């Protein structure tokens, strides 16, 4: 991520407001017409944003989960409330933890929508070791995240 230009931050993001466990969608598009919300963290956020731009998708919002524990239920519920007509796919990595904790935490703040998963298959290693296999998995992940 050090070489990824999209992951750079402005100085005021470090000097004002403090840490935020959930970051809103960075798209300039209005929040109306959104019918899908993706909740992601780490590098996959930038992959999802690039895919959304490539597809010209204006119906998908991407929220950045910056803190897993304690689950920021109030902050996440507040961001989700801005998209009342949307459902939320989930992605792996932190999914086992979130599967156990997120529904209850969101319900405590009035969010009861069902969650769906869009992730790579479970694996004993963090990488396939093959760039072709990684590209195929990445394409499948993007399709599950954005295709309707």
The residues, ordered by sequence, that sit 6+ positions from 60 with a Cβ below 8 Å of its Cβ are: 34, 35, 36, 37, 38, 52, 145, 146
pLDDT tens per residue across all 148 residues of the chain: 778 888 888 888 788 888 889 999 988 767 788 999 999 998 899 999 999 999 999 999 999 999 988 989 999 999 988 888 775 544 445 777 888 888 899 999 999 888 887 877 777 676 778 899 889 988 998 998 899 8
Tokens 């010209």, located at residue: 56
**Residue 42 falls in which region: left (phi positive, over 0), alpha (psi -120 to 50) or beta:** left
| pTM, 2 dp | 0.76
Q: Evaluate whether 33 touches 58 at the Cβ level (below 8 Å).
A: yes
Number of other residues whose CB lies within 10 A of the CB of residue 119: 18
């Amino acid at each position: 991520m050090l070489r990824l230009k999209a992951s750079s931050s402005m100085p005021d993001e470090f000097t004002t407001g403090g840490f935020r466990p959930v970051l809103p969608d960075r798209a300039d598009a209005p929040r109306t017409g959104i019918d899908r919300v993706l909740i992601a963290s780490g590098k996959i956020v930038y992959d999802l944003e690039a895919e959304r731009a490539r597809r010209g998708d204006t119906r998908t919002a991407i929220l950045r989960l910056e803190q897993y524990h304690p689950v920021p239920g109030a902050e996440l519920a507040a961001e989700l409330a801005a998209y009342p007509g949307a459902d939320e796919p989930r992605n792996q990595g932190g999914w086992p933890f979130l599967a156990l904790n997120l529904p209850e935490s969101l319900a405590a703040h009035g969010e009861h929508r069902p969650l769906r998963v869009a992730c790579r298959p479970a694996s004993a290693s963090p990488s396939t070791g093959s760039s072709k296999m990684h590209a195929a998995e990445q394409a499948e992940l993007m399709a599950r995240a954005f295709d309707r």
